[in-house]
Amino acid sequence: MPIKVLIPTPLRPYAGKQSVIGVTAKTVGEAFSDLVALHPSLRKHLFSEDGKLRSFVNVYLNDEDIRYLNKDETAVKESDTITIVPSVAGG
Amino acid sequence: MALKIPRALYDQLRQHGEATYPHECCGVLVGEFDEAGGKAVRTVVQCGNTRTDSPQNRYHISPSELVRIQREALLAGQDIVGFYHSHPDHPARWSSTDLDEAHWYGCSYVITSVEKGRAVLTNSFLLLEQEESKHLKDEKLEIIEQ
């Protein structure tokens, strides 16, 4: 069973209009590589030119922010869910 | 294209702004997109404002709350279609900070002005384009009487 990646509304036009995409990976970084390989136009919406995740893109593994886990190196297993959520803020 | 919202939910998000005055309130609009690009709100989810350093003129929704709301919306066959917040003693127009911090393209950003504790105007804005060319456009807010 692949790892599920939940795609937020604004990124779906670049992900074949899908809300959930299955990927095969052992780490969060590999999951994103697989995701971008499946849907290349997602890359520029997720990563800046230096290849880092854009600052406003939050990534959760199940209920944990990967920044507080092992970031890209965070291990994933089948049945895990990765959720992408852009930040919501303003003035 | 319009953002359609039942009267009870419209009242609910305005009352949230009155309840948190003089601080900004914030929350998520869950519902459905239609074929024509319009949106219908089915649920208003009140969130906490995590900007405790400047809650009178800033808001921020915890990403962990967004993760939970998005997951529950998908399970219900719905989507996050927008967000709302209040402007205490400030017009119901988007600010430069609102635009800078907006990243949910195709979604609505609803703003209510709250003057001296009372909700006055509520306007909706649609976030368009993409990060380098983004802009907020006035959007019709259609209140559904029940």
Give the model confidence (pLDDT) of A30-79 as tens digits: 999 999 999 999 999 999 999 999 999 999 999 999 999 999 999 999 99
pLDDT value of residue B95: 97
Look at the pTM and tell me if it is higher than 0.90: yes
pLDDT value of residue B37: 79
> How close A15 gets to chain B, by Cα (Å)?
14
Tokens 């299955």 found at? A22
**Residue range(s) defining the domain that contains residue B110:** 2-144
Within 8 A of A54 by CB-CB distance, chain B residues are: 131
Tally of domains in chain B: 1
Within 8 A of A13 by CB-CB distance, chain B residues are: 106
In percent, the amount of chain B with pLDDT more than 70 equals 100
pLDDT value of residue B36: 83
pLDDT value of residue B1: 82
What is the per-residue pLDDT across B61-112, written as a single tens digit (0 to 9) for each?
999 999 999 999 999 999 999 999 999 999 999 999 999 999 999 999 999 9
Identify the residue among B26, B70, B78 best suited for mutation to test binding to A, counting A beta carbons within 10 A and taking the highest. Answer: B70
**Interface contact B103-A86, CB threshold 8 A:** yes
Flag whether pLDDT at B128 surpasses 70.
Answer: yes
Parallel/antiparallel/unpaired status of strands B39-47 and B2-6:
parallel
Tokens 């965070």 found at? A74
| H helix runs in chain B, sequence order | 7-20, 63-75, 96-100
Question: Please, are residues A42 and A32 in contact by the beta-carbon 8 Å criterion?
Answer: no
Q: Give all domains of chain A, ordered by start, each with its CATH number.
A: 3-86 (3.10.20.30)
Beginning with the edge strand found earlier in the chain, give each strand of the sheet holding A81-86 in spatial order: A20-23, A3-6, A81-86, A57-61, A64-65
**Interface contact A9-B104, CB threshold 8 A:** yes
Q: CATH code at B124?
A: 3.40.140.10
Question: Please, are residues B78 and B93 in contact by the beta-carbon 8 Å criterion?
Answer: no
**Interface contact A60-B64, CB threshold 8 A:** yes
What is the rounded average pLDDT of the residues B20-33?
Answer: 98
pLDDT value of residue B146: 82
pLDDT value of residue A1: 65
What is the rounded average pLDDT of the residues B29-41?
Answer: 93
The two structure tokens encoding residue B95:
């600010």
pLDDT value of residue B35: 83
A89: which residues sit within 8 A by CB, 6+ positions away?
A: B51, B58, B59, B60, B61, B101
